[in-house]
């Protein structure tokens, strides 16, 4: 038996009897649910994060991620299966290390892999033979082989011989109550046969279905394909919305009728812009990588242009509605934006178009405020520092009537839309929230 086969067999045995110690780096929307899922399946897990406030919250049994209830977090910490730390030297004790850090874009829409590279540098300081290192962060095909592996191999240890390397794309969907980390099929790939076997064994121990593919680059491409599919189709309906608006046709009625076809059609819905960490960002990782091969990605780039233009289109429709129906300029108007989160029923504001809508309204001289039952205060963000600290206004008659218009940006279920229809002098609805609930009112316009 070769040395690397022996190392692989030892780790396989530890995974099988749950004696393997797992480490999860990045305790956000992906990392914390994964860490808890691994712990609930019998492994000891250490979570790592550079934010000490997250560690304080976890130590207090207080979850900041909706997918992880306080009671579940408290149970796993009390039973000793999960703990969190900012001390990355403790990575040395971990047999399996999973990287779940952000992969944003630069201002020029190029991949920002700084979180990945810094994390790999930290792992390299304590890297030892027999460890399995897994990247889950969404990125372009080739990152695991071209970025992660060289950093780790600077230690003198070799992937596939001394340590094992794999990629498994995250598939978290905040707010989705039908699917959880353990029930979402997991695509996995390893750098070599031993790593592939370890990936299947580890994830097979914590999720219901494992989908192996031939290489990390293929697994990286799977994630991008999923999100590009959504981005392009959302761009299509956003473009159709603008065209049908000009024709006096309701895009929502069109989609509702089209989706009755039992084959060959899948409904996607328009909105005020794209939000979340994945769809507004991930497609551009492929457009960037494709330049290396001198190949165009016209569909992806066009979809990005259309989706990025939606906030300006919505604000333009808002300004038009104020002028035509109230005789007021946007520059002299107060607008209440309903929903700060990027999708309904979650507190996640990453890349939320609502932030852009507020910024655009105020660039045109208007006054904007927001109400969101899930986001009490706007936290620090990279792009919208000026909005930090603003708080959600109450949703009552007096408050609503202090605004000239209400803009529905996110259709949270906890919002009283019937009351809004009674109180608001003008409503611009980007989510079809009122028609879907059969609520009629004075001035309710779609955008």
What is the per-residue DSSP string for 6-73? Answer: HHHHHHHHHHHTT-PEEEEE--STTHHHHHHHHHHTT-EEEEE-S-HHHHHHHHTT--SSTTS-HHHH
> 298-321 and 216-247 are packed helices; what angle lies between their axes, rounded to 10 degrees?
40
Q: Which pLDDT does position 389 carry in this prediction?
A: 95
Distance CA 58, CA 84 (A): 7
Contact (Cβ atoms closer than 8 angstroms) between residue 224 and residue 300: no
48 with 23: CB under 8 angstroms?
yes
Residue 405 is predicted with a pLDDT of: 98
Q: CB neighbours of 150 closer than 8 A, spacing ≥ 6?
A: none
Q: Is 94 a catalytic residue?
A: no
Q: Are 326 and 404 in contact (CB under 8 A)?
A: yes
CATH topology of domain 4-214: Rossmann fold (3.40.50)
The active-site residue out of 94, 100, 120, 278 is 278
225 in Cβ contact with 213 (< 8 Å): no
Q: What is the spatial distance between Cα 299 and Cα 302, in angstroms, rounded to a whole number?
A: 5
Under the banding of pLDDT at 50, 70 and 90, the label for residue 3 is low
Classify 103 as helix, strand or coil.
coil
Going by pLDDT thresholds of 50, 70 and 90, the confidence category of residue 2 is low
Residue with tokens 């934010």: 51
pLDDT band at 318 (very low <50, low <70, confident <90, very high): very high
Q: pLDDT for 382-405, tens place per residue?
A: 889 999 999 999 999 999 999 999
Once rounded to an integer, what is the mean pLDDT over residues 185-189? Answer: 97
Query: Which element (helix H / strand E) includes 134?
Result: strand 132-135
Judge contact between 39 and 82, C-beta under 8 A.
yes
Does residue 197 sit in helix, strand or coil?
Answer: helix
294: left (phi over 0), alpha (psi -120 to 50) or beta: left
Mean pLDDT of 122-141: 97
Please count the residues of the chain: 447
Q: Around Cβ 192, how many Cβ atoms within 10 Å?
A: 17
- Please say whether the dihedral angle defined by the alpha carbons of residues 286, 288, 292 and 295, taken in this order, is positive or negative: positive
Other Cβ atoms less than 10 A from the Cβ of 343: the count is 18
Please report the pLDDT score of residue 82 as a whole number.
Answer: 98
Dist CA 37 CA 59 (whole Å): 18
Query: In the chain, what are the domain boundaries?
Result: 4-214, 242-446
C-alpha–C-alpha distance, residues 246 and 252, integer Å: 14
Q: What is the dihedral of CA 121, 127, 131, 136, to 10 degrees?
A: -10
Res 175 pLDDT > 90: no
Is the confidence at residue 138, as pLDDT, over 90?
Answer: yes
Q: CB neighbours (10 Å) of residue 111?
A: 23
Cβ–Cβ < 8 Å for 22, 98: yes
Query: Would the CATH topology of 4-214 be identical to that of 242-446?
Result: yes
Q: Which residue has the higher pLDDT, 2 or 109?
A: 109
Provide mean pLDDT across the span 217-228: 96
Residue whose pair of structure tokens reads 């780096």 in the numeric block: 25
What does the pLDDT average to over 59-79? 93
Rounded to an integer, what distance in angstroms lies between the CA atom of residue 120 and that of residue 155?
11
The residue-averaged pLDDT of 161-180 equals 91
- From the list 341, 328, 346, 403, the residue with the least C-alpha distance to 369 is 403
Dist. CA 418–CA 437, nearest whole Å? 9
pLDDT value of position 392:
97
CA 203, 207, 211, 216 dihedral sign is: negative
pLDDT at 4: 63
* DSSP state, residue 375: -
The burial of 128, by beta-carbon neighbours within 10 Å (0-12 exposed, 13-18 middle, 19 or more buried), is given as: middle
- Name the residue among 185, 354, 335 with its Cα closest to residue 280: 354
User: Burial letters for 71-85: b for 16+ Cβ neighbours within 10 Å, e otherwise?
Assistant: ebbebbbeeebbbbb
**Cα distance between residue 282 and residue 230, in whole Å:** 11
CATH class entry, domain 242-446: alpha beta
Kindly report the average pLDDT of the chain as a whole number.
95
- Measured in Å, how far apart are the chain's first and last C-alpha atoms? 66
DSSP notation for 203-214: HHTTSS-EEE-S
Q: Look-up: residue for tokens 């076997």? A: 197
Q: Residue 32 half-sphere exposure, CB side, CA atoms within 13 Å?
A: 25
């Amino acid at each position: 038996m070769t040395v690397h086969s022996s190392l692989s067999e030892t780790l396989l045995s530890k995974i099988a009897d749950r004696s393997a110690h797992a480490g999860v780096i990045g305790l956000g929307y992906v990392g914390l649910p994964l860490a808890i899922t691994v712990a609930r399946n019998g492994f000891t897990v250490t979570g790592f994060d550079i934010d000490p406030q997250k560690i304080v919250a976890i130590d207090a049994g207080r979850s900041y991620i909706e997918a992880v209830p306080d009671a579940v977090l408290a149970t796993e910490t009390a039973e000793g299966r999960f703990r969190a730390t900012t001390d990355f030297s403790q990575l040395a004790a971990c047999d399996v290390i999973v990287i779940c850090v952000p992969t944003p874009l630069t201002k020029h829409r190029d991949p920002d892999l700084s979180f990945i590279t810094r994390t790999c540098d930290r792992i390299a300081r304590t890297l030892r033979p027999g460890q399995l290192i897994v990247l889950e962060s969404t990125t372009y095909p080739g990152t695991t082989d071209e970025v992660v592996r060289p950093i780790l191999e600077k230690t003198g240890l070799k992937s596939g011989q001394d340590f094992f390397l794999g990629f498994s794309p995250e598939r978290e969907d905040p707010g989705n109550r039908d699917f959880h980390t353990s029930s979402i099929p997991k695509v996995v790939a390893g750098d070599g046969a031993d790593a592939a076997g370890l990936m299947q064994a580890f994830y097979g121990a914590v999720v219901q279905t494992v989908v192996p593919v031939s290489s990390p680059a293929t697994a990286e491409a799977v994630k991008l394909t999923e999100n590009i599919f959504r981005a392009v189709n959302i761009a299509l309906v956003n473009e159709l919305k603008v065209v049908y608006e000009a024709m006096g046709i309701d895009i929502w009625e069109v989609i509702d009728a089209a989706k009755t076809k039992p084959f060959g059609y899948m409904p996607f819905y328009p909105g005020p812009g794209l939000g979340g960490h994945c769809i507004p960002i991930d497609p551009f990782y492929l457009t960037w990588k494709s330049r290396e091969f001198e190949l165009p990605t016209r569909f992806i780039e066009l979809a990005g242009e259309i989706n990025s233009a939606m906030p300006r289109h919505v604000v333009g429709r808002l300004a038009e509605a104020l002028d035509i129906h109230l005789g007021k300029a946007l520059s002299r108007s107060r607008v209440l934006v309903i929903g700060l989160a990027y999708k309904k029923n979650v507190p996640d504001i990453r890349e939320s178009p609502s932030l852009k809508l507020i910024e655009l309204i105020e660039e045109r001289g208007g006054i904007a405020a927001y109400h969101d039952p899930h986001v009490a205060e706007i936290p620090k963000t990279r792009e919208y520092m000026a909005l930090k600290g603003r708080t959600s206004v109450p949703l009552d008659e007096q408050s609503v009537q202090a605004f000239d218009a209400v803009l529905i940006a996110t259709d949270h279920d906890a919002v009283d839309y019937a009351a809004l229809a009674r109180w608001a002098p003008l409503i611009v609805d980007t989510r079809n929230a009122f028609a879907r609930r059969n609520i009629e009112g004075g001035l309710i316009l779609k955008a």
